Amino acid sequence: MTNYRICVCFHRRFKVGEAVPPAEIRDLFNKYSEGGSHMNGNQLGKFMCEVQGENVDGEQVVEQVIQKRHHISRFARHNLSLDDFHQYLFSSHLNPPITSQVNQDMTAPLSRYFIYTGHNSYLTGNQLSSDCSDIPIIKALNRGVRVVELDIWPNSNKDDVHVLHGRTLTTPVELIKCLKSIKEHAFTASPYPVIITLEDHLTPDLQAKVAEMLTQTFGDMLFCPNAENLREFPSPEELKYRILISTKPPKEYLEAKSISVNSKKMMKSKDFDEDDSGKEANDVAKTHNGDDTGDSDPNQQSDDESYYYCSPELCPSAASSYKCLIAIHAGKPKGSLKEALKVENDKVRRLSLSEQSLEKAAESLGTNLIRFTQKNFLRVYPKGTRFNSSNYKPLNGWMHGAQMVAFNMQGYGKYLWLMHGMFRSNGGCGYVKKPDFLMNVGPNNDVFNPKDRLSVKKTLKVKVYLGDGWRMDFKQTHFDMYSPPDFYVRIGIAGVPADEIMKKTKILEDNWIPYWEEEFTFPLTVPELALLRVEVNEYDMSETDDFAGQTCLPVSELKQGIRAVPLYSRKGEKYNSVRLLMRFEFI
């Protein structure tokens, strides 16, 4: 029983029990136990095959459940009670909604994957006045982020290199500290390659110093191609435990110094026009003179050429010692965006666009973007007015094949939840293989057009049975001072515009263990990019509803059947106990 005080003399009492099996779970237990009081391994195996779509050893699962629940020897019991069966289904450890293992082909070229990408990875908070530190870099790497961005500037004495958000009040951190932390934590969450994107504002002598720092810190972990430009990139599998550097070659930084003279002219350009009201000077420079197309000098490379570790001692000058460490070349565009999106057979390059530039390009150059990203890298970054480190909708970038949709990982909110959800795919390794439709070329050299109206490919049916765990993870009065919470679930799809929708369950009053038992259907035209959004709130009649947990799951990886779905905080941290019992079917 739980007491809630109404006033000095009066209390309201509410009974809080344990979660009991819903009627449908009881019916399934009766069916597969053949009317008995217990379910043996063979019967559980049949249930797993027919309902859960998994071929597993039922005896082994029974043993796991018995040991977890009762801490007794496997020789003591060989079957499950109804309560054991329910608790097994409601265990997010034993019965998760998606796999925790890498399950995709990792042998395709690197450009054929979406990559978990950070923006201004060193910032602890907002874009204007927060501290710069290696701590958010470590947190991002431990979450599985594979692309780390560092803005590098001369220190006040011009004799060392700092990481900071230039022309703002952010306090700097030494580059070498960031590099050492990257080396230590790069492969904690995933063995697949880490890419460091450098926004370089250095003189040639300091670039040479950075080259020395990189080689001394990472040694033979650094991947350096033996040609200035690659025709195709190796695969994530080939690049396991390697560090890649991506930035503009040194000569292009010297050219970029003309920004103060050319920025007004560039801002009038048809393809790169941006709304720069309120932007930092640094962001204006990046938007109008920093969009990348790579070098103009082609270098051929035969298919059988190998890669080597390059050190400054092997390079004839300070500029080339820095340049030979660059694995993924970036550079400013020359001419229109349409020209910048032309695919060159003899090299792979990186192009960067702000979120607004991508939106404008998508209007008239959607198929150009698709062709470009089939071979080359496209990086999308937040507009400069996102001073509070908020984020933008990532689906537009993914729809157009952008590998590096760069996000402020130190923030939080709905769009960051989508990013977390996408990269729960493929065992959370930080690389998600692009759907085939983004890579295919038709008989008439045609490619996927994001503007095409598509028919429904499959329908996802979702049933929300119940939720539990709030009573363990939250204080009694967290949601309401005078009564238990009134929970409801918002559930829907984030994906291409035709698939996006949100629905919600009824509100269940005064209940720590709400039983909704409601079903929803979601027709999907592009299930490959669909994310299932789940958000639980507590209804408040007089104020804003209280947040009670969320998750986002890739539809393409959902396991069919009845699953335990763990929920996360606003910041994306997993709750210890809060979870939902749900059923997924594809029809």
Known catalytic residues are 119, 165
> Contact 62/78 with Cβ under 8 angstroms?
yes
Distance, in Å, from the CA atom of 228 to the CA atom of 326, rounded to the nearest integer, reads 8
Coil, strand or helix at 344: coil
Distance, in Å, from the CA atom of 310 to the CA atom of 312, rounded to the nearest integer, reads 7
Distance, in Å, from the CA atom of 305 to the CA atom of 431, rounded to the nearest integer, reads 25
Task: Find the helix or strand (DSSP H, E) in which 363 lies.
Answer: helix 355-373
Distance, in Å, from the CA atom of 461 to the CA atom of 483, rounded to the nearest integer, reads 33
Both tokens assigned to 394? 């990532």
Q: What is the DSSP string of 103-114?
A: -S---S-GGGEE
Q: Count of CB atoms within 10 A of residue 508's CB?
A: 19
Amino acid at 456: V
- Strands in 458-468's sheet, in edge-to-edge order, are 501-504, 487-494, 531-538, 546-554, 561-568, 574-586, 458-468, 515-524
> Distance of CA 342 to CAs 173, 335, 374, 442, Å?
38, 11, 12, 18
Coil, strand or helix at 265: helix
What residues does 132 pair with on adjacent strands?
Answer: 123
Amino acid at 494: A
Both tokens assigned to 476? 């009694």
Distance, in Å, from the CA atom of 516 to the CA atom of 157, rounded to the nearest integer, reads 64
- Closest by CA to 93, choosing from 469, 535, 555, 531, is 469
CA dihedral of residues 141, 142, 144, 146 (deg, nearest 10): 10
- Closest by CA to 405, choosing from 333, 348, 355, 343, is 355
Both tokens assigned to 461? 């049916």
Q: Half-sphere exposure of 229 toward its Cβ, with a 13 Å CA cutoff?
A: 22
> Contact 350/330 with Cβ under 8 angstroms?
yes
Helices (H) and strands (E) in the chain, counts: 17, 23
Distance, in Å, from the CA atom of 291 to the CA atom of 284, rounded to the nearest integer, reads 11
Distance, in Å, from the CA atom of 58 to the CA atom of 79, rounded to the nearest integer, reads 10
DSSP 40: E
> Contact 395/418 with Cβ under 8 angstroms?
yes
